[in-house]
Amino acid sequence: MQGKLFNYWQIPIIMRNYESFKVNNVNSMTLWHKVRNPFVIAFNFVIIETCKYLPSLALKRFFYSLIGIKLGKNVSIGLGVMFDIFFPELIEIGDNSIIGYNSLILTHEFLIEEWRKGKVKIGKNVLIGVNVSVLPGIEIGDNATVSSASLVNKNVNAGSFVGGVPIKELKR
Side chain identity, residue 104: L
Helix (H) or strand (E) holding 63: helix 57-66
Q: Residue 3 pLDDT more than 90?
A: no
Average pLDDT over residues 54-75: 96
Contact present, 119 and 137 (Cβ < 8 Å): yes
Give the count of domains, the chain: 1
Quote the domain boundaries for residue 64.
Answer: 2-171
pLDDT tens per residue, range 102-158: 999 999 999 999 999 999 999 999 999 999 999 999 999 999 999 999 999 999 999
What's 95's domain CATH number?
Answer: 2.160.10.10
Whole-number pLDDT of residue 9: 47
CA-nearest of 150, 57, 134 to 96 is 57
pLDDT for 11 beyond 90: no
Using a pLDDT cut of 90, give the percent of the chain over it.
89
